[in-house]
Amino acid sequence: MTRKYFGTDGIRGTVGQSPITPDFVLRLAHAVGRVLKQTQTHPTVLIGKDTRISGYMLESALESGFNSAGVDVVLLGPVPTPAVAYLTRAQRASLGVVISASHNAYEDNGIKFFSAKGSKLPDEWEQSVEAFLEQAPVWSASAQLGKARRLDDAAGRYIEFCKSTFANDLTLKGLKVVVDAANGAAYQIAPKVFHELGADVVAIGCAPDGLNINLGVGATHPEALVAAVKSHQADYGIALDGDADRLQLVDKAGRLFNGDELLYLMAADRIARGEVVPGVVGTLMTNLAVELALKQKGLEFIRTQVGDRYVLQALQEKGWLLGGEGSGHLLALDKHSTGDGLISALQVLQACVASGKSMAQLLSDVQLFPQVLVNVRLKPGQDWKSSAALAQALKSVEENLGDSGRVLIRASGTEPLVRVMVEARDARLAQASAEKLAATLENEEAVRAQ
């Protein structure tokens, strides 16, 4: 069964356009409430949000929808997405709800859900919700309506949880850290976490006005963090995205480290401390250099589709703990049930403090391969997967690359594009190979040869 509303990470879109309208969100919450009532007499859900101005409107709609189905609501206010996952578990709630469009601009917003265990919900659950959306609402009788309240000190509880994942015998004293919260959900929380662990904190991107989330700051605009680290002569820079589940890190030299590098660092640190790390999960886009470096340490490495939900699914199937994406979504399942930018940053800083080494030193075994990405717009009706010319060009490129590179060709999920990615030790070889494959796709002869 295909899903009409749910994408790879909840429901997302432009505010005021379907489905991100107050009437739909009310119906959505009512449908979710009816799904919950199938197995629970009086469910309770937690609702958190980021700092978008539309969060007020959508929060009210969710509250009304849940209450109308006989579900109690606990409002958390602006907190990171992973905070909702944690508090849902800690409060023994039935469900966690997040109002956020993550790294998107303020004009967008979205709704996503966490299970009682603080993890993403399966496709079957989303399909059940969509089935109820197609039905007429069944309003609860007045005596059975849900109630709403606020959770006192939701932010403080999550701050303590984050700090608990950092080694008790270590401190960040003596370190100056720039923290960029993208004017998003962690704007109050992130600076306090690092300050309370001893760091001298310089906060940027921590003054939300409802319209400036992710605007020129945060994990998707790390140039602001790099500049701040240099100007303040800081030891580290930490950038989160709007809902704080994504991370980018900068060292004192202003070098930016992406999620692939940080994933390797976290795995290598655990091995150095004598922990057993059976394997690591990445995605189709994870840099080949990281895969090779992990395998040199004797670790199994597997790739999933792009998306942290697929990484999480693979980790659960394997019984492993570490996985992530180059975008900075990192998972350490012995620390949290979902990707968490703050906790991932603490894991990296802990490795640096404990070893007395910089991130660059801890990553001396990893030299990222150049990646070249070319987008090719498809012609109407073009069946690129059946192109004999493309298959021949791909075979030639892969033979030329050998073990020193790889090719990934995939369709865009949102546009009529094919994305051609080539990765190789030699940047010029990667560029030439990507251009060859793209030209084959664009060539009319390739279309006629299908």
Q: H/E element holding 70?
A: none
Write down the catalytic residue from 54, 100, 102, 119: 102
If one compares 414 and 131, the residue with the highest pLDDT of the two is 131
> What would the pLDDT profile of 350-363 be if each residue is shown by its tens digit?
999 999 999 999 99
Whether 146 and 23 map to the same domain: the answer is yes
pLDDT value for 447: 46
CATH of the domain at 435: 3.30.310.50
247 within a domain of the structure (yes/no): yes
Whether 234 and 270 map to the same domain: the answer is no
For residues 116 and 65, the answer to whether their CB atoms sit within 8 Å is: no
Q: Which amino acid is at 196?
A: E
Active site residue 404: no
Whether 144 and 172 map to the same domain: the answer is no
> What would the pLDDT profile of 18-31 be if each residue is shown by its tens digit?
999 999 999 999 99
End-to-end CA distance of the chain: 30
pLDDT value for 333: 97
Q: Domain count for the chain, please give it.
A: 4
pLDDT band of 264, cuts 50, 70, 90: very high
Domain residue limits at 22: 11-152
> What would the pLDDT profile of 166-207 be if each residue is shown by its tens digit?
999 999 999 999 999 999 999 999 999 999 999 999 999 999
6 within a domain of the structure (yes/no): no
Whether 114 and 166 map to the same domain: the answer is no
pLDDT band of 445, cuts 50, 70, 90: very low
Per-residue DSSP letters for 153-193?
THHHHHHHHHHHTS-TT---TT-EEEEE-TTSTTTTHHHHH
DSSP bridge pairs for 409: 420
For the cut 50, the answer to whether the pLDDT of residue 382 exceeds it is yes
For the cut 80, the answer to whether the pLDDT of residue 449 exceeds it is no
Percent of the chain with pLDDT over 70: 98
3 within a domain of the structure (yes/no): no
For the cut 70, the answer to whether the pLDDT of residue 448 exceeds it is no
For residues 418 and 427, the answer to whether their CB atoms sit within 8 Å is: no
> What would the pLDDT profile of 37-95 be if each residue is shown by its tens digit?
999 999 999 999 999 999 999 999 999 999 999 999 999 999 999 999 999 999 999 99
- Average of per-residue pLDDT values in the chain: 94
Whether 250 and 262 map to the same domain: the answer is no
